Structure 1
Amino acid sequence: MIDIHCHILHGVDDGAQDLDMAVAMARMAVEDGVRTIVATPHFNNVWKVERDTVIAKTKELQAELDRLGIPLSIRYGNELRLENGSFIREALSTGNFCPLNDNPKFVLMEEPWEGFHPDTWDVIEEFRGRGTKIILAHPERHGFFRAEPSLLDRMLATGVVWTQVSAGSLIGEYGVDAQAFAYGLVDRGLAHTLATDAHNMTRKPLLAHAYDAVAARAGAAAADAIRERMRSIAG
């Protein structure tokens, strides 16, 4: 399995606090069946983990995993927050953040937690012009999408956006409302990707249960389709 949203890099944001924790997360992920993780530290106004840091920390972690014989590949990435349109344009012009798997065709982006940003539509067009697919982080956990689902539907209708559903949402770790919304996306074939958004040994890097949940709900073909999308991003 491939995890495209994981705060496994050590000492850079609110994820793994040190190398030992990052290694422990890696061991847990491997035991769950994950073989590739795209490390996605935050790139926002609170934690702006820039490209040079992502690369250096990823190389340090990968070297330690290789030394310990842990069969896990760590790739470059960031979780980019839509602080506003200017923030996104500056990030793109400077190249200070990492797209998913360092591939400009895919970027992991989240909306602000405090509310849907009106610059979203301009940002979508910016990425469309660059030939980039936005992987929208955990929309089921944002109250404004649950309150006004048409916002998400409109984003998906652009053809530029795929959803990334959190594994924990499908088993109720983020509450019944997020769980219901996540399953609604599964039912409509709009749970495009799955990821852990793991931060530590409490917010765990476990993914297998999410695929099991999708297969039980929508069938094995639906789970396989998600796996294919994941491979297109970081396979």
Structure 2
Amino acid sequence: MANKKVIDLKDIWISYPESSNFSMKNLLRLRKDEVFWAVKGLNFEIYKGEVLGIIGRNGSGKSTLLKLLSGLILPDKGEYKVYGKRPVLLTLGAGFDAELSGIDNIYLNALYLGHKKKDVDRDLKEIIEYSELGDFVYKPVRTYSSGMKARLAFSIAVTLDPEVLLIDEVLGVGDQQFKDKSKATIMDKIQQKRTVIMVTHSANLVKDICDRVVWIHKGEQMEVGPPEEVVPKYLEFMKGNKK
């Protein structure tokens, strides 16, 4: 694993209002007991060329952490630094416009991820072929299944070749053939020393391909280290902790 940092998190705290009845005007006046801390004091680094797994049960703060890493939100407290281009979040069609066609959403999503139109023009054919959507690429995204959206999102992200790729359970979506294909693509990126950050519930996947793993529970950092050390502790903890 290289020693060059690409992301640095120091004492990161992120909150959400407890009540849905709030406005931007009174948001700053909320008391501490009126907010929910989704992430509480995270401290870790991410290095160039490593594969980092993020594990934790539902509601542990993994999705909030991904939003921070991709630049969609900012922390309430703490320091978040990115050295180089910001990571690309690969999720189930986040940012897709349901009324637009797959083609239009390729351009929309790619521009949203920070790419230029000329990059999409250059790689459009490859993106379409990789997605295996056929003529559906010309139809509105509202007609797509969740698996089809995931395939399109994955095709855009991996074809445009980001330096840091964030993956949100995408490898578990779609038919088996596409799962195998997407996993092979990720493995290829890993061999090319791309940085990959993966949120997953699969302990086996973490053990197979990750260099390190971050385990978070109820927003708090439980362990950071090699999968062979952290994953057994996580699995044992989850056996006796159903809440």
TM-score interval, smaller chain: 0.3 to 0.5
Say which structure, 1 or 2, has more relative contact order (CA 8 Å, 6+ apart).
2
Larger radius of gyration: 2
TM-score where L is the length of structure 1:
0.34
More strand by share: 2
